[in-house]
Copies of this chain bind each other. A is one copy, B any other.
Amino acid sequence: MSRFTVEVRVTPRPGLLDPEGKAVQHALGSLGYEGVVSTRVGKLIVVEMEADGEKEARARAEEMCRKLLANPVTQDFRIRVSAQAEGVDER
């Protein structure tokens, strides 16, 4: 068993109205940011789990998404698995 950090990114499905994204986009515009083409707002769910390997971690995460974490009618999800306890800071 090793520990994995699973990052689930849940975003509103394309075509679905994203009022929150729209609001942020509008606010960025009013703050004077030009060149902002689009803004979408979704959820980030970071799960740390014990699993037998990356593959298993990913498989379980996908199942969690389908069952609970995302609603297929309105949301898409993407999963990223990393072996570290904490994701690398990419700043």
Interface residues of A (CB under 8 A from B): 1, 3, 9-11, 21, 24, 27-28, 31, 33-51, 58, 60, 64, 67-69, 78-80, 89-91
A40 (CB) vs chain B CBs: closest residue: B46
Asked whether A50 and B35 contact (CB < 8 A) given A24-B45, A42-B44, the answer is yes
List, in ascending order, chain B residues with CB within 8 A of A11's CB.
Answer: 44, 46
Count the copies.
2
A contact face: mostly helix, strand, loop, or mixed: strand
- Which of B33, B39, B45, B58 is close to A46, meaning CB atoms less than 8 Å apart? B39
Task: State in angstroms the CA–CA spacing of A44 and B10 once bound together.
Answer: 8
Is the CB–CB distance between B43 and A47 below 8 Å?
Answer: no
Q: Could you name 16 residue pairs across A and B whose Cβ atoms are closer than 8 Å?
A: A1-B35, A10-B44, A21-B45, A24-B45, A33-B49, A35-B49, A35-B51, A38-B47, A40-B46, A41-B43, A41-B44, A41-B45, A43-B44, A44-B44, A78-B90, A79-B90
